[in-house]
């Protein structure tokens, strides 16, 4: 349920707010965009010092039951631990899920309905009290609270719970999770879910001491289980983390936690951040940011600066959803014609050029397990094949084209992408009208089939990168079409596709399943419900004194994995 948009959510009492901003990144740290010089940004950092993170938007929520987006997930990793977690960015397979608080990835029962995890010894909260199975259970049960559980929906969807259960503060303990002893926790699922070991890595599985975290308690105060604890938080302006002395590195194979402190400087303009990183004065030598702006790239021309550039490949697909219920998009040939005609090179340029975006011909991004390379709608240099498209349109009886309303967000990059699409369809007589929708109501509008127009540009990120199961089913399972919050923009409801999804989902061999997801990707594209456009990447310009830069597809939507970052010289700055 994650989009390229970070959920920036906020609470007015019981009210729930959600909005978006873009997040990007990618997993191959060796792929620098500049010439490879002498300095490596993957050197092992020293212990100590303060790492600064310069960013524009504040994190959505400090409460992990509420926050659910690429940006905040990465932050959570510094202060929270879960039963399992995405592997560190320098792992052999950074897309994989590894044990964290638990000793392994969980043991399913014969029927796949019961999963058992065992907690490591020596894991503690920031106050020194041990993290017990009861704390894990309590933390998870918060996900059922109607006001708090607005983040990751997986716990509620997968774990069996009594009818009408509304979290620990209203309905008491969640009896369906068993804690036979302090270190053992047993989950009962609604249906078998072979990837449950990945589900428990979700934010909503963070443990908390029983009875804490009611209402807005965790809005500006948290209880840490990770290597850092909150020192101070000024919403919209700064977050300061200091070492959590109770965290035992012996129990943690994921987090290196080199620096003593983290300081998040929030509310800076993207342009200001870039200027500061380019100049690298004082503390800014110890600073990192999500990505530079495209306009900054041409300014990075000295060899020293070029060396610092690191490209972080994204894990989110930006695509054009075609509403298959609308005339003439209900004709597969018309949809295929659009897929053929769209000038992906122009869209790529609109997204910031080759460095900031990779052209997509498949639904799955390269960085998500299960990806398989193919191109059903090829054209020279991805410029679009007008001839082939025209032939298909003629065959479908639309030789003179038609009118098409394209929903877009009032955001410059998306507008540029939309204008590129508009231009490439114009020669076919397809008259694209751009329907600009406010940022705040965009996803609400396009996710409501009754309000949705012919097409919309949007993005999708997997909830874990180790499989395509959080990518293809939500977007293309026809039985998941809902009246509001509908992710299946194409409203594709194809029996064969639905059956294939069920078949692959039931597979317990995850590698074999991924192979099948890759095949399904192409089967879906034959129906052309969407036009994959680009996988957008970030380019980061870390400060000179920063090292340990690795991307992480799982925890950071492809951005820098915070838990590996540190300083070359902690005395500097």
Partner 1 sequence: MTVLPTELEVVEKSAPPATAGGAPGGRSLRALVRDPGAALAGGYILLIVLMALFAPLIVRLSGWGPYEFDQQAIDPDLAGVPLGGWGGAGADHWFGVEPGSGRDIFARIVYGARVSMLIALSATALTTLLGVVLGMLAGYFGGRVDWVISRVMDFLMAFPALIFMIAILSALPAGNRSVMLVVVISLFGWPYLARVVRGQTMSLAQREFVEAARASGAGSATIVFREILPNLRSTIIVLTTLAVPGYIGTEAGLSFLGVGVVPPTPSWGQMIASSVNWYSVVPSYFAIPGAFLFLLVLSFTVLGDRLRAFLDPGGLR
Partner 2 sequence: MARYLLARLSGVVLILVLVCLFTFTVFFVLSPDPAVQICGKNCNPELIERIRGNLGLDEPLFTQFTTFLGGLFAGRAYGTGEGAVECAAPCLGYSFQSSQPVWEMITERLPVTVTVAVGAAVLWLLAGVVGGLVGALRQGTWWDRGAMVIALSGLSIPNYVFALVLQYVLVVELEWLPFPQAVTLADDPALWFQSYLMPWIVLAFAYASVYARLTRANVIDTLEENFVRTARAKGLPRGQVIRRHALRPALTPVATIFGMDFAGLLGGALITEKVFGINGVGKMTADAIGRNDQPVIMGVTLLAAAFVVVGNVVVDLVYTALDPRVRLTVA
- The packing angle between helices 510-527 and 495-505, to 10°, is 170
- DSSP summary character for residue 189: B
> Among candidates 174, 237, 244, which has minimal Cα distance to 205?
174
Least distance in angstroms from the C-beta of 435 to partner 1: 8
Tokens, residue 150? 């607005």
Tokens, residue 524? 């879906």
φ/ψ bin of 213: left (φ > 0), alpha (ψ from -120 to 50), beta (otherwise): left
Within residues 18-47, the interface with partner 2 by CB under 8 A covers 18-20
Contact between residue 570 and residue 259 where contact means Cβ atoms under 8 Å apart: yes
Choose the contact partner of 269 out of partner 1, partner 2, none; CB within 5 to 8 A by kind: partner 2
Q: Which of 440, 499, 503, 506 binds partner 2 (CB under 8 A)?
A: 440
Choose the contact partner of 353 out of partner 2, partner 1, none; CB within 5 to 8 A by kind: partner 1
- DSSP summary character for residue 115: E
Tokens, residue 345? 């090179």
Least distance in angstroms from the C-beta of 300 to partner 1: 9
Measured CA to CA, the distance from residue 64 to residue 68 in angstroms comes to 7
Task: Evaluate the omega torsion of the peptide bond into residue 328 and state whether it is cis, within 30 degrees of 0.
Answer: yes
Q: Which of 484, 499, 506, 512 binds partner 2 (CB under 8 A)?
A: 484
Query: Which is nearer to partner 1, 93 or 419 (by Cβ)?
Result: 419
Tokens, residue 111? 């029927």
Is residue 305 part of the contact set for partner 2 (CB under 8 A)? no
Q: Which of 444, 494, 515, 522 binds partner 2 (CB under 8 A)?
A: 444
The phi, psi pair for 517, rounded to 5°, reads -60, -40
Measured CA to CA, the distance from residue 275 to residue 270 in angstroms comes to 9
Least distance in angstroms from the C-beta of 433 to partner 1: 10
Q: Which of 191, 394, 433, 438 binds partner 2 (CB under 8 A)?
A: 438
Cβ neighbours of residue 291 closer than 8 Å, sequence gap 6 or more = 24, 25, 312, 356, 537, 538, 539, 540, 559
Measured CA to CA, the distance from residue 545 to residue 552 in angstroms comes to 21
Contact between residue 70 and residue 22 where contact means Cβ atoms under 8 Å apart: no
Cβ neighbours of residue 250 closer than 8 Å, sequence gap 6 or more = 122
Is residue 17 part of the contact set for partner 2 (CB under 8 A)? yes
Choose the contact partner of 58 out of partner 2, partner 1, none; CB within 5 to 8 A by kind: partner 2
Within residues 223-242, the interface with partner 2 by CB under 8 A covers 235-237
Asked whether the CA dihedral 138, 141, 142, 145 is positive or negative, the reply is negative
Choose the contact partner of 350 out of partner 1, partner 2, none; CB within 5 to 8 A by kind: partner 1
Query: Which is nearer to partner 1, 408 or 567 (by Cβ)?
Result: 408
Query: Which is nearer to partner 1, 166 or 419 (by Cβ)?
Result: 419
Provide the binding-site residues for partner 1, judged by CB under 8 A: 270-271, 293-299, 343, 345-346, 348-350, 352-356, 383, 410, 412, 415-416, 418-420, 422-423, 426, 434, 436-438
Strand partners, 114: 188
Choose the contact partner of 356 out of partner 1, partner 2, none; CB within 5 to 8 A by kind: partner 1
Choose the contact partner of 515 out of partner 2, partner 1, none; CB within 5 to 8 A by kind: none
Is residue 8 part of the contact set for partner 2 (CB under 8 A)? yes
Instruction: Give me the helices (H) in 91-187, please.
Output: 133-141, 154-158, 168-171
Measured CA to CA, the distance from residue 413 to residue 241 in angstroms comes to 33
Cβ neighbours of residue 154 closer than 8 Å, sequence gap 6 or more = 199, 202, 204, 463
Is residue 436 part of the contact set for partner 2 (CB under 8 A)? no
Query: Which is nearer to partner 2, 332 or 439 (by Cβ)?
Result: 439
Within residues 257-296, the interface with partner 2 by CB under 8 A covers 267-269, 271-272, 275-276, 279
Least distance in angstroms from the C-beta of 257 to partner 2: 28
Q: Single out the segment in contact with partner 2 by CB under 8 A; choices: 86-94, 238-246, 344-352, 434-442.
A: 434-442
Least distance in angstroms from the C-beta of 242 to partner 1: 36
Query: Which is nearer to partner 1, 36 or 354 (by Cβ)?
Result: 354
Q: Which of 29, 51, 55, 58 binds partner 2 (CB under 8 A)?
A: 58
Asked whether the CA dihedral 55, 60, 63, 64 is positive or negative, the reply is negative
Q: Which of 102, 143, 150, 513 binds partner 2 (CB under 8 A)?
A: 150
Q: Single out the segment in contact with partner 2 by CB under 8 A; choices: 127-135, 142-150, 382-390, 466-474.
A: 142-150
Query: Which is nearer to partner 1, 212 or 306 (by Cβ)?
Result: 306
Within residues 446-465, the interface with partner 2 by CB under 8 A covers 447
Query: Which is nearer to partner 1, 54 or 437 (by Cβ)?
Result: 437
The phi, psi pair for 204, rounded to 5°, reads -70, 0
Choose the contact partner of 349 out of partner 1, partner 2, none; CB within 5 to 8 A by kind: partner 1
């Amino acid at each position: 349920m994650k989009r390229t948009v970070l959920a920036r959510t906020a609470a007015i009492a019981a009210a729930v707010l959600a909005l978006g901003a873009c997040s990007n990144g990618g997993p191959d740290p060796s792929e620098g965009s500049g010439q490879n010089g002498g300095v490596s940004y993957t050197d092992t950092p020293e212990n100590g010092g303060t790492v600064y993170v310069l960013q524009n938007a504040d994190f959505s929520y400090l409460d992990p039951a509420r926050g659910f987006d690429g940006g905040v997930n990465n932050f959570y990793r510094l202060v929270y631990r879960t039963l399992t977690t995405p592997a560190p960015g320098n792992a052999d397979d950074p897309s994989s899920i590894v044990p964290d608080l638990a000793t392994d990835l969980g043991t399913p029962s014969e029927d796949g309905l019961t999963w058992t995890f065992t907690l490591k010894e020596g894991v503690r909260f920031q106050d020194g009290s041990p993290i017990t199975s009861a704390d894990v259970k309590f933390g998870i049960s918060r996900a059922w609270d109607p006001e708090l559980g607005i983040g990751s929906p997986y716990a509620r969807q997968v774990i069996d719970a009594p009818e009408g259960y509304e979290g620990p503060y209203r309905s008491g303990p969640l009896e369906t999770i068993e804690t036979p002893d302090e270190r053992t926790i047993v989950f009962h699922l609604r249906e078998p879910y072979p990837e449950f070991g990945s589900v428990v890595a979700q934010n909503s599985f963070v443990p908390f001491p029983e009875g804490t975290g009611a209402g807005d308690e965790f809005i500006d105060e948290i209880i840490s289980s990770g290597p850092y604890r909150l020192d101070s938080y000024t919403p919209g302006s700064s977050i300061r983390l200091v070492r959590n002395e109770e965290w035992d590195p012996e129990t943690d194979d994921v987090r290196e936690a080199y620096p003593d402190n983290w300081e998040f400087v929030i509310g800076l303009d993207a342009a200001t951040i870039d200027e500061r990183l380019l100049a690298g004065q004082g503390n800014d030598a110890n600073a990192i940011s999500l990505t530079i702006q495209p306009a900054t790239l041409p300014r990075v021309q000295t060899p020293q600066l070029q060396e610092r550039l690191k490209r972080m490949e994204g894990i989110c697909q930006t695509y054009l959803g075609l509403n298959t219920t609308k005339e003439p998009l209900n004709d597969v040939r018309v949809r295929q014609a659009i897929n053929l005609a769209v000038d992906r090179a122009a869209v790529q340029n609109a997204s910031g050029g080759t460095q900031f975006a990779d052209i997509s011909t498949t639904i799955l991004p390269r960085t998500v397990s299960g990806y398989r390379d193919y191109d059903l709608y090829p054209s020279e240099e991805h410029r679009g094949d007008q001839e082939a498209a025209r032939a298909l349109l003629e065959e479908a009886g639309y030789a003179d084209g038609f009118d098409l309303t394209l929903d877009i967000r009032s955001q410059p990059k998306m507008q540029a992408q939309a204008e590129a699409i508009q231009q490439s369809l114009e020669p076919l007589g397809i008259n694209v009208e751009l329907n600009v929708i406010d940022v705040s109501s965009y996803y609400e509008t396009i996710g409501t089939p009754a309000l949705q127009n012919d097409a919309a540009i949007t993005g999708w990120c997997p909830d874990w990168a180790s499989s395509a199961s959080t990518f293809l089913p939500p977007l293309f399972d026809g039985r998941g079409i809902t009246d509001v919050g509908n992710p299946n923009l194409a409203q594709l409801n194809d029996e064969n596709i639905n059956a294939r999804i069920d078949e692959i989902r039931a597979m317990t061999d995850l590698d074999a399943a991924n192979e099948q997801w890759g095949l399904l990707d192409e089967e879906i594209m034959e129906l052309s419900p969407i036009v994959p456009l680009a996988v957008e990447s970030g380019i980061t310009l870390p400060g000179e004194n920063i090292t340990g830069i690795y991307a992480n597809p799982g925890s950071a939507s492809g951005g820098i994995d915070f838990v590996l970052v540190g300083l070359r010289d902690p005395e500097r700055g």
